Amino acid sequence: IFSDVELAPADPILGLTDAFKADPRSEKINLGVGIFKDEAGDTPVLASVKQAEAILLAEESSKNYLGIDGVQLYNKVVQELLFGNEHQVLKDKRAVTAQAPGGTGALRIAAEFVVRNTPSRVVWISNPTWANHRSVFETAGLEVKEYAYYDAEQQDLDFSGMLASLADAQPGDLVLLHGCCHNPTGIDLNLSQWQTIADLCFEKSLVPLFDFAYQGFGKGLNEDAAGLRLLAAKVPELLVANSFSKNFGLYNERIGAVTLIADSAETAAVAFSQVKRTIRANYSNPPAHGALIVSTILSRPELRVLWEQELTTMRNRIAEMRTLFVASLKAEGVKQDFSFIERQAGMFSFSGLNKQQVQRLRDEFAVYIVGSGRISVAGMTNANMGAICKAIAAVL
Ligand code: LMR
């Protein structure tokens, strides 16, 4: 049965890491996958995480199974981080949360839950979006449609295009929204645009599905959640898939959560029984370690303060690299205006480089970026900036 299986294409992001590892050139630079690097080019474990792990090592008394929805304290602190302590949906108990294996696992659970339990079959994703969205949703049985998002000429948001596309959405359709730090463009909605989208979803009975993977990497923990909180206050039903890979640096712990908001506490509880059923059929119940780290940090004030400081350091470093990137390109004699890169938020910059230029960067200069022209600014350092900008200047 296996002899006729076709070879899968390399993954556009993680496949790049494989190619990078296999590249023998010592000067190689990986700006593909979104991983935060410090000034030394390392991705160290956060001090807050190390301290939480020390506590867990001392205090953990059993490796018994978790419940299907994971660590209870974790699910509570996730809700508070997403919505703030005072949000009405929490007071009304309209939000239910299950721990999930990363943001990707959360998206998959959300999509499969929708397909198995509701009449909705369509999800709208931005053009462009994270390279894995389409695959996750189609594998779960959703039909994927695209809404306009990026104005390549202005290197800005195409908000009127977004609204025009979503005018065709039907009641019950899901609309995938990036909570902040849009991947790959780095361009986010402002508050009045979020309000317009909230009104649109409400009037057309669309169901927002937030992919929220970079809380704290844009402007701050609360500022980055403003769009989500605004929509949650307006619409009766909403889904969130959030991830702690980036903001806690817990990439390989695969820790995230799926949150469902229903129009009443009763409906939420019933829907949650089916979310749990979906989880049980996929991986039974989640692993504990990542959730215990996050819940230990978020529930102990001294660890939370330390983590927020570390998060601020990461955010500021990425912002510094953006500024240095724009200045260094200029210093290399690049005439094109790249100042838009400083206006983008989060780990990524959408550079506007085309496929041939991306290929040349890799072949001639051992600089790896995603085929769409997405550059991980979080992988830049003072040390590698010169080489990166020389290479880009050469291929432009
Ligand atoms: C990325 O976009 O680089 C990250 O979200 C990692 C991944 O899984 O693709």
Each residue's pLDDT tens digit, 215-258: 999 999 999 999 999 999 999 999 999 999 999 999 999 999 99
Task: Provide the token pair at 237.
Answer: 């039903």
Range of lowest pLDDT (2-6, 12-16, 286-290): 12-16
List the CATH number of the domain containing 139.
3.40.640.10
Give tens-digit pLDDT for 154-195: 999 999 999 999 999 999 999 999 999 999 999 999 999 999
* Average of per-residue pLDDT across 270-274: 98
Ligand 1 mutation target, pool 18, 20, 30, 33, most atoms within 8 A of CB? 33
Query: Is the same domain home to 378 and 229?
Result: no
Q: What domain range includes position 69?
A: 65-299
Residue 4 covered by a domain = no
Q: Are residues 118 and 151 part of one domain?
A: yes
Lowest pLDDT segment from 105-109, 163-167, 336-340, 374-378: 336-340
The pLDDT of residue 259:
98
The question of ipTM being above 0.90 is answered as: yes
What pLDDT sits at residue 326? Answer: 95
In a domain, residue 49? The reply is no
- Calculate how far, in angstroms, residue 157's C-alpha sits from the geometric centre of ligand 1: 21
Query: pLDDT by residue (tens digit) across 133-147?
Result: 999 999 999 999 999
Q: How far apart are the first and last CA of the chain?
A: 48
Q: Which residues belong to the active site?
A: 130, 211, 246
**Residues 294, 318 within the same domain:** no
- DSSP code of residue 93: T
Same domain, 254 and 154: yes
Give the β-pairing of 174-178 and 122-127.
Answer: parallel
The reply to whether 128 and 266 lie within a common domain is: yes
Q: Are residues 341 and 378 in the same domain?
A: yes
Do 339 and 223 belong to one domain? no
Looking at the fold, whether 26 and 174 belong to one and the same domain comes out as no
For residue 274, name the pLDDT band (cuts at 50, 70, 90): very high
**How far apart are the C-alpha atoms of 99 and 183, rounded to whole Å?**
23
* CA 268 to ligand 1 center in whole angstroms: 30
- Ligand 1 center to residue 256 CA distance, Å? 14
Neighbours of 152 (CB within 10 A): 12
Boundary (domain end) residue, out of 229, 264, 299: 299
The closest residue, in CA terms, to atom 1 on ligand 1 is: 34
Tell me what the mean pLDDT of segment 303-323 comes to.
97
Task: Write out the H or E segment, with its range, that includes residue 40.
Answer: none
Q: Which atom of ligand 1 is nearest to the CA of 13?
A: 9
CATH code for position 27: 3.90.1150.10
The protein residue whose alpha carbon is closest to atom 5 in ligand 1 is 34
- Percent share of the chain, pLDDT over 70: 100
Ligand 1 atom with the smallest distance to the CA of 14 is 9
Q: What number is the average pLDDT over the span 5-22?
A: 95
**53-111 tens-digit pLDDT:** 999 999 999 999 999 999 999 999 999 999 999 999 999 999 999 999 999 999 999 99
